Amino acid sequence: MKRDFLTFWDLSKNEVESILERAACFKAGNTGNKNALSGKSIGLFFEKSSTRTRVSFEVGIYQLGGQPVYIRSGDSQVGRGESISDTAQVLSRYFDGIIVRTYAQVRLDEFAKYSTKPVINGLSDTHHPCQVLADLLTIKERKGKLQGIKLTYLGDSNNVTNSLIEASIRMGMVLSIASPAGFEPKPAMMKKVRDLDNQKIKIYNDPVEAVKQADVVYTDVWISMGDEETGQQTKKDALKPFQINDALLTHANPDVTVLHCLPAHRGEEITDTVIDGPMSAVFDQAENRLHTQKALLEMLIG
């Protein structure tokens, strides 16, 4: 039976822990079986731009002995109207697994429904679970554990935020989200949170309150891919007080770690001094995409 990774819920706590351990081995150069994907071809079907996700998957697949094949959807027949269901049925006859970067989660779900091979979410409008695997490894490297860590996310409540919510509940982190009114997580996500674990996820409209005692602070762009059309300036004005800067960080723990999934809009959601400063782990975080995704591929497709 094929295993997909469409949202963070698709992995159990034990599986996430195994992935993080295996990723740390890959990072240390202790790779064991280097040929988990030997003789296998993995597709990357992307409908949005990417630097990290595309390259870390392509390099990781190569390092595991497999062949990555990148398909930009606009250059495929999907760009001329071929359906996702037909495309998924065809591609899964060639590939052993497919990483999909797309818009609505239902489009990804449709792809997974018709694919006979594992489908991995390489980012949708509402989830970015591969990113969060790398985030967890980075937090573990810096703080030694995940359980009980206070993580504060500041800014627009987006795909990364949703995956952080799911991962925090799964792994026992305490997550505070600080967003301006109107940009908090969507009611459907918060209903799920209330049903599962009301205690560990807190929503604030005040960034200073939210970062108090934070072990880790995290932000992302204010305007996500696909989000570019809608009232950008009003949104940016509302988000200004949520910028991660030196003044805001004085309210966090003195040894706070700063994360950003990248790409960053320096001077908007984060300042140069913070992203390039001693608290920043953002480039380790970007590197960790490679190690965690290799462990994920080995588990799902190897």
Q: Which residues are catalytic?
A: 101, 128, 131, 220, 261, 289
How many whole angstroms separate alpha carbon 11 and alpha carbon 8? 6
Sign of the CA dihedral with 224 first, then 227, 231, and 235 last: negative
Region near ligand CP per CB under 6 A, out of 1-9, 141-149, 242-250, 257-265: 257-265
Quote the least distance from Cβ 274 to ligand NVA, whole Å.
18
220 makes contact with ligand NVA (CB under 6 A) = yes
- Residue 250 binding: pick among ligand NVA, ligand CP, none (C-beta 5-8 Å cut-off by kind): none
261 makes contact with ligand NVA (CB under 6 A) = yes
119's enclosing H/E stretch is: strand 119-121
Q: Where are the alpha helices (DSSP H) in the chain?
A: 13-28, 52-63, 84-94, 105-114, 129-143, 159-171, 187-196, 207-211, 232-239, 246-249, 272-275, 282-300
Closest to ligand CP by CB, 58 vs 215, is 58
Count, residues near ligand CP per rule CB under 6 A: 9
- The CA angle 66-67-68, to the nearest 5 degrees, is 120
- Residue 294 binding: pick among ligand CP, ligand NVA, none (C-beta 5-8 Å cut-off by kind): none
- Report phi then psi at 67, rounded to 5: -115, 120
Quote the least distance from Cβ 234 to ligand CP, whole Å.
25
Helices 13-28 & 282-300 angle (0-180, nearest 10) = 110
Structural Rg of the chain based on CA atoms:
19
Closest to ligand NVA by CB, 89 vs 105, is 105
**Out of 12, 35, 51, 234, the residue judged to bind ligand CP by CB under 6 A:** 51
Structure-block tokens of residue 49: 């731009």
221 makes contact with ligand NVA (CB under 6 A) = yes
Closest to ligand CP by CB, 52 vs 150, is 52
How many whole angstroms separate alpha carbon 163 and alpha carbon 207? 20
Residue 86, classed as helix, strand or coil, is helix
The residue assigned the tokens 């489908």 is 119
- Residue 159 binding: pick among ligand CP, ligand NVA, none (C-beta 5-8 Å cut-off by kind): ligand NVA
The 133-172 site mask, x for binding ligand NVA (CB under 6 A), equals: -------------------------xxx------------
50 makes contact with ligand CP (CB under 6 A) = yes
225 makes contact with ligand NVA (CB under 6 A) = yes
Structure-block tokens of residue 224: 């996500």
**Out of 131, 159, 163, 243, the residue judged to bind ligand CP by CB under 6 A:** 131
Interaction site with ligand NVA (CB under 6 A): 123, 158-160, 220-221, 224-225, 261
